[in-house]
Structure 1
């Protein structure tokens, strides 16, 4: 058994009912007691922990119990080789929870003589330079206010250097260019909800290991980017807490509301923001008052609820009057596409603009569910302009690439980029002709806008074509089926991040007459073609059977007329 007084104090605060914890932190304590604190091959470096806490409280601010708890696990080591037990730390708290202040203390301490490792460089990485500089500038200002620290550290607006250890604290943007060969001891990734993938993360951590006891800190609040880096970290955290991953693969400290309705009791707010645990410090009281004002303002301006729940309560919620489905429901479309050979299906397409995107697909019935096979086409000029398809990875282009990773989707076979003045209809026709070899396409459906250029070549190829004269009119008709389908996990898209992106971009507009229309959350970059294509297919889904042709013939052969 191992122990540390700050760890014991935090656990006892919860057990005695003095603080409230959310589900993930309760799981964390149970996991620690079962898998970590019960071991005898580890030790807390109590002296280092005390030094770090004293350093923070002398030069920065009084530390809360949860912050001391977190610091303790930064300095947990294996006895046999004095290596850190946790290399990766995930800290997720509601806005205002002091994560940047704490990381300022920890990173400053790690570069100091008290830590004692020569050239233990630290990089703070974020999507924007402004965010990356948040903790750096706090440390810069702390040094500026102290004579002893001025003597110990040299500072410029670009880097802070410890004169005795040679350790450097720097800030960087997440764009990965020119980052190879770094010799960092630790890397901090700030506001990780903005990271679309782990590509840039890998670049920044590639230099770790050249110094003893490398560490990675991932800090932030939740956000609106789904299927990205943060969702992967949350999934990994749950595996650790459930005992399904290597015990020290991540230290996950996640603070959030457990349920959306908990927001209406301010006593629950400490679940998402541990700074609000009683007794409130002067800072915490001011923070609580600010959050209360924002909460009360929701009565007059409920449109801010999504932002409030995501950023203050660390619990992303979906406004169902604006989104077609909750993100969890969109994620649930990632089900394996079953064997559909020879089955009937409805062909469908959305070809709203021949100058940007087009989508075609096949909708099936299968054991009460609706599998969807689809492919998209995109014009190279358009994806170059709006998603940086061809350009090098620089700071400006990084955000565009992350917004819609066209090249990744192309490599996965989900779309084809066409270098043409307009998307030639022949690509759509050829796709259906190829699919006809494997599936029984009963008819192809599209809206009236572009079917004048597609109807003739499709009919010449032998397809029955139906044109939807007023596509917006079918949205309200199909809305109950769409909502039920997502809620009951009836839609099967396979592992198709492009379709999840299309669907997440859909804006549900409720008209004055109560009818619903599926529009775009943003008119240019947030494409919805694949989703609109799928809706067209659903329009006639009841015209097909839930059997393949061979099965139907076998049944007929077995009947004795």
Structure 2
């Protein structure tokens, strides 16, 4: 088989799945997906090796912006490009119209970004004319970095190709192709309106820095009438666990790769460490640094990563290194209560059967009338685990849009996902009746046996009196003496896999925002920080003060004895 017809995707998949190249679980799943799709009968997409190889040959002819020497692509880069360009429908339009590509820093992201952008700018099809390609980012400066990479590369091409030199014109921050009237330019949220905005390709560079979905929505709304668009997220992990990349895209691609979410038009490649413990073994580093497959790059990369890791360990500050060099999401706050990775590990795809189960309910009621939370804990006897979930009630005084901007939470989206309920009062304040009705419906619909409803006495109001008529209520004092040990226990239960949850975005936001305050060896979640963002977790912690004492039929009191002997945090 000649290099022109070589099936790079299958070669890569075989190397990964045979263990010849070590890879993350998500990369393995991406390979399994490709091989499985090749066998699908009556599939409306086909894999065209020639189309896949065309862009590979193009990029390997482009000069490196530092050395001027043509790029040589690594096998994983050929796999990514082959997937994006090899899979097409019967019209030749791309199958994957959205892609998520993530890996540690310095792993050849530049080649992919600049190569795809310039290829579509010069040789893209459908439309044949007036193609719009945008290098986008959260800030104008970051967007210009990606754009300038493309410009520098094409400048070198222009210097050796008279035909390309005649075709391309650069005016300020825009490249124009005289042959096809296509444009390539940077785009950020600071960019003003653009006439006839219709991005064939939008590259979201370092999407982890985006605090909202604004840029994604701008790109995708402009692609509505296009048959062959591509939105490409290409980024390392980050520190904002409430960013749309982590809260929305990351769990979504997890579902696609596991097969629990069906989306034939979304490609995902995530090179990451499967756990933090893996960094102790150098052989594992290739999982997040796939460029280590290239022998000529290996020694210098390992030397630099070792240096970064050693320095971070000596300073006892691993956060940045884990994120940038090993592509592991980390909270920016050292006092964070739970690691995002630990919370993600306790995620389950489907809610367990809860009908007829015991339930412990926690309430965190609004002090000023803009957010209240109901959380519940259900012991699952069959697995000896606790299932947790939550719902919030949002005041609308001042407008939901203003509240969403202030809290940096998309409440309208959460309402559509049934994680929150908006107040129906004319005043916009929380309606206690809605909370009572929600609890009653939750209990009745699932035939739950309410053990206790636990609440914070400071925020108690008339709702407590009403609920106490039919449920046993527990006043949870909000101090170290009451909450410290349950707070420690809950964290250990999460880490050990004894707490499970479905993908409740609202609760995850609360977990990501929770930080601890300490008093000697005692700890509790600081409710003065991010007051309007941790309410679901605060309600959950109130319920946990009683739920932790639940006796599983198969467990007895073994866990309580264990925790009496180990309360280190």
TM-score bracket, shorter-length normalisation? 0.7 to 0.9
The equivalences for 1:99-178 within 5 A come to 99-112=109-122, 117-143=128-154, 147=159, 151-173=166-188
Corresponding residue to 2:410 among 399, 405, 409:
405
Structure 2 residue matching 1:376: 3-state secondary structure: strand
Structure 1 unaligned runs (5+)?
Answer: 391-396, 548-561
Size of the aligned set, in residue pairs, is: 524
Structure 2 residue matching 1:446: 3-state secondary structure: strand
Corresponding residue to 1:309 among 316, 319, 322:
322
Corresponding position: 1:204 with 2:231: no
Corresponding residue to 1:94 among 101, 104, 110:
104
Q: Distance in 2 between matches of 1:124 and 1:190?
A: 7
The equivalences for 1:60-79 within 5 A come to 62-66=71-75, 67-76=77-86
- Relative distance call for 1:300 and 1:440 in structure 2 (3 A) is same
TM-score normalised to the size of structure 1?
0.74
- Relative distance call for 1:27 and 1:324 in structure 2 (3 A) is closer
Do the aligned partners of 2:337 and 2:525 also contact (CA within 8 Å) in 1? no
Q: Distance in 2 between matches of 1:433 and 1:213?
A: 49
Between 198-207 and 407-416, report the one with greater CA deviation.
Answer: 198-207
2:476 alignment counterpart = 468
1:254 alignment counterpart = 270
Structure 2 unaligned runs (5+)?
Answer: 554-569
Q: Distance in 1 between matches of 2:362 and 2:307?
A: 49
Query: Which of structures 1 and 2 has the bigger CA Rg?
Result: 1
Structure 1 residue matching 2:490: 3-state secondary structure: helix
Corresponding position: 1:54 with 2:49: no
- The Cα offsets for residues 433-456 of structure 1, whole Å up to 9 and x where unpaired, read as 7878786656543334334x5598
Structure 1 residue matching 2:107: 3-state secondary structure: coil
- Relative distance call for 1:279 and 1:227 in structure 2 (3 A) is same
Q: Distance in 1 between matches of 2:491 and 2:270?
A: 31
1:554 alignment counterpart = none
Do the aligned partners of 1:95 and 1:312 also contact (CA within 8 Å) in 2? yes
Do the aligned partners of 2:24 and 2:271 also contact (CA within 8 Å) in 1? yes
- The Cα offsets for residues 227-256 of structure 1, whole Å up to 9 and x where unpaired, read as 31232123323439xxx967x644443322
Q: Distance in 1 between matches of 2:479 and 2:505?
A: 25
Shift, 1:107, TM fit: 0.8
Shift, 1:136, TM fit: 0.9
Q: Distance in 2 between matches of 1:483 and 1:108?
A: 48
The equivalences for 1:432-511 within 5 A come to 444-451=453-460, 453=461, 457-458=465-466, 465-479=473-487, 481-483=489-491, 485-487=493-495, 491=499, 496-509=504-517, 511=519
Q: Distance in 2 between matches of 1:307 and 1:450?
A: 38
- Relative distance call for 1:261 and 1:420 in structure 2 (3 A) is same
Corresponding position: 1:299 with 2:299: no
- Relative distance call for 1:296 and 1:76 in structure 2 (3 A) is same
1:273 alignment counterpart = 289
Shift, 1:502, TM fit: 2.0
Corresponding residue to 1:4 among 6, 9, 27:
6
Corresponding position: 1:388 with 2:402: yes
- The Cα offsets for residues 410-463 of structure 1, whole Å up to 9 and x where unpaired, read as 342623347759768777667667878786656543334334x55984588676
- Relative distance call for 1:495 and 1:28 in structure 2 (3 A) is closer
Q: Distance in 1 between matches of 2:439 and 2:47?
A: 62
- Relative distance call for 1:30 and 1:528 in structure 2 (3 A) is closer
- Relative distance call for 1:271 and 1:61 in structure 2 (3 A) is farther
Q: Distance in 2 between matches of 1:494 and 1:274?
A: 31
Do the aligned partners of 2:96 and 2:266 also contact (CA within 8 Å) in 1? yes
Shift, 1:168, TM fit: 0.9
Q: Distance in 1 between matches of 2:90 and 2:430?
A: 64
1:532 alignment counterpart = 538
Shift, 1:104, TM fit: 0.9
- The Cα offsets for residues 21-70 of structure 1, whole Å up to 9 and x where unpaired, read as 44444555565566549999733145554234213558686333233454
Do the aligned partners of 1:42 and 1:79 also contact (CA within 8 Å) in 2? no
CA RMSD of aligned residues (A): 4.8
Structure 2 residue matching 1:133: 3-state secondary structure: helix
Do the aligned partners of 2:188 and 2:215 also contact (CA within 8 Å) in 1? no
Between 13-22 and 311-320, report the one with greater CA deviation.
Answer: 13-22
